[in-house]
Chains A and B, each alone.
Chain A
Amino acid sequence: SQQGEEDPQALSIQEGENATMNCSYKTSINNLQWYRQNSGRGLVHLILIRSNEREKHSGRLRVTLDTSKKSSSLLITASRAADTASYFCATALLPRGAQKLVFGQGTRLTINP
């Protein structure tokens, strides 16, 4: 099964609302990253949080990491139509796999104007 699994699989909200996506994983990690993929495009890196960090911010993005629960969440505040995309969490594994990322299945986010 997937190392990282996102929840929900799909999310539809109104513009201006906050969007929260969750990611769970199974094994110990070096870090966890979130990526966005617009339809028909490659993935774009959003934010990286290391295993010794609990929370990180970048603009309208807020990521939390709970290593005891093996879970992470991505919060997008004040959503915009341009945020419509699929969002993936990716875990970098230990011990030698620090460079190897394992991606979840993604959450499809739709922002309705």
Chain B
Amino acid sequence: DAGVIQSPRHEVTEMGQEVTLRCKPISGHNSLFWYRQTMMRGLELLIYFNNNVPIDDSGMPEDRFSAKMPNASFSTLKIQPSEPRDSAVYFCASSLDRGRSYEQYFGPGTRLTVT
């Protein structure tokens, strides 16, 4: 099993540019999560999907952030326009949810630096 796949692993961009992060969950998993990790704020849940439908996006910082899950094997997190305070490691995780809370499997993360 390949695990959760994220791309790119590292992204350096200038303020104002659009950034798109990509995630491929584990095959067969029906829930997908986007997290952001910083030293100051720790690990924050941004949004999660169940069966490709966004369930809770209350963690999305502002309208500059958007996430999509067009099918069960792909999700994107977009930041437009990006700002230096968006610099963080962004993790995607997936799990198999049968109505109870199961463990989440994390990808390796995308380290985003906005200059």
A contact set with B: CB distance below 8 Å: 2, 30-31, 33, 35, 41-45, 48, 88, 92, 97-106
Q: Which of the 9-residue segments B13-21, B64-72, B95-103 touches chain A?
A: B95-103
B26 to chain A, nearest CB (A): 12
In the complex, are the beta carbons of B48 and A45 less than 8 A apart?
no
Query: Closest chain B residue to A88 by CB distance?
Result: B43
Query: Known interface pairs A100-B48, A106-B42. Does A42 touch B103 (Cβ–Cβ under 8 Å)?
Result: no
> Would you give the shortest CB distance from A41 to chain B, in whole angstroms?
6
Bound: A24/B58 CA distance, A:
23
Taking the closest CB of chain B, its distance from the CB of A89, in whole angstroms, is 11
Known contacts A92-B101, A106-B42; is-contact A44 B48 (Cβ 8 Å): no
The closest CB in chain A to the CB of B91 belongs to: A42
Whether A99 pairs with B48 at a CB distance below 8 angstroms is: yes
B50 contacts A42, C-beta separation under 8 Å: no
Is B108 touching A30 in the complex (CB atoms < 8 A)?
Answer: no
Q: Could you tell me which residues of chain B, from 17 to 58, have a CB within 8 Å of some CB in chain A?
A: 31, 33, 35, 42-43, 45, 48, 50, 55-56
Q: What are 8 A-B contacts with C-beta separation under 8 Å?
A: A42-B91, A42-B108, A48-B101, A99-B101, A100-B56, A103-B35, A103-B43, A105-B42
Given A42-B4, A42-B109, A43-B91, does the pair A103, B104 have CB atoms closer than 8 Å? no
Q: A30-B101, A31-B101, A99-B101 are in contact. Are A42 and B31 (CB under 8 A)?
A: no
Q: How far is the CA of A15 from the CA of B83 in the complex (A)?
A: 43
